[in-house]
Amino acid sequence: MITDAQIERWLREDVGHHDVTNQVPGETTGELVAKEAGTVAGLEAAAAVFAFIGATVTDRLEAGTRVDTGDELLAVEGEARDVLRGERVAVNLAGHASGIATRTNRAVAEARTESDDVRIAATRKTTPGLRGLEKRAVVAGGGDTHRLDLSHMVMVKDNHIAEMGLEGAVEHFRERASFATKLDVEVETVEDVPRAAEAGADIVLLDNMSPAETREAVSLLAEYEGVLAEASGGITLETVADYAAVGVDVISMGSLTHSAPSLDLSFRTASD
């Protein structure tokens, strides 16, 4: 959900205290157009920006829609000053989100060449203040949000294990977590996979393992009913299919959010 407070911060940052650039008289219409093919997202945020500033959005595509060069994503009308003031923030948000959706869609497509069931998930490697936008963009691209924040799931990571040991860390967090909260336990070696499962992991995160090591880990986890296998760490668009082929349940990729280039969009106006 995009709040008025967020939009106000975004616009204050861009408009500043004395905007001469957009002191344009009259009414106008405008359209957001794709300059390259991709999967769109973030249009609800772009529309909210225009609505906040006083312009009217007359049409917009649904998140997850595939577009080609030249396709219209969103149309707006109103005072020229308002439309122009909202333009750059709206374009930046939609371009950033659409880039994430496009990258996610590519990752899902690559994984589907090997598995119809594996989930392609994001991580918490998001931009502060934009996590909601970025996580929704992942969903628009066909991916899974993974946990939205620290309260959604306990991840027992290397630093926790260094402090308390693997079994000790799992026990520590299991005692403190709700029955509804899953534990995702990170391991770095195949040998630690059974230890994590036996300690009580709901999900075993196979960190920075090769596809061959991941296959061996998945085979070991088959003995533990209901425990999911998650591959993570340095997985790219070029290698995601290799991990999908070895039978993991989830592939989490930080690059979906931290390395996705913005989709190239353009905003054009036409005065009445």
Question: What is the Cα–Cα distance from 42 to 213, expressed in whole angstroms?
Answer: 38
Respond yes or no: is residue 135 known to be catalytic. no
Cα dihedral sign, 255-47-40-11: negative
Respond yes or no: is residue 215 known to be catalytic. no
The active-site residue, picked from 66, 112, 124, 125, is 125
Structure tokens that stand for 244 in this block: 């999908």
The active-site residue, picked from 82, 192, 207, 230, is 207
Question: What is the Cα–Cα distance from 79 to 7, expressed in whole angstroms?
Answer: 19
> Which backbone phi and psi does 37 adopt, to 5 degrees?
-75, 150
Residue 5 carries which side chain, given as an amino acid letter?
A
Structure tokens that stand for 69 in this block: 């060069």
Ramachandran region, residue 137 (left: φ > 0; alpha: ψ -120 to 50; beta: rest): alpha
The active-site residue, picked from 88, 112, 182, 195, is 88
Respond yes or no: is residue 213 known to be catalytic. no
The active-site residue, picked from 44, 77, 186, 242, is 186
Structure tokens that stand for 109 in this block: 């497509």
Q: Please name the residue ranges forming H helices in the chain.
A: 4-15, 43-53, 80-112, 131-140, 158-164, 166-176, 192-199, 211-221, 240-244, 255-258
The active-site residue, picked from 66, 112, 124, 157, is 157
> Cα 129 to the chain's mean position, in Å?
13
> Which backbone phi and psi does 74 adopt, to 5 degrees?
-155, 145
Which residues are marked as active site?
Answer: 88, 125, 157, 186, 207
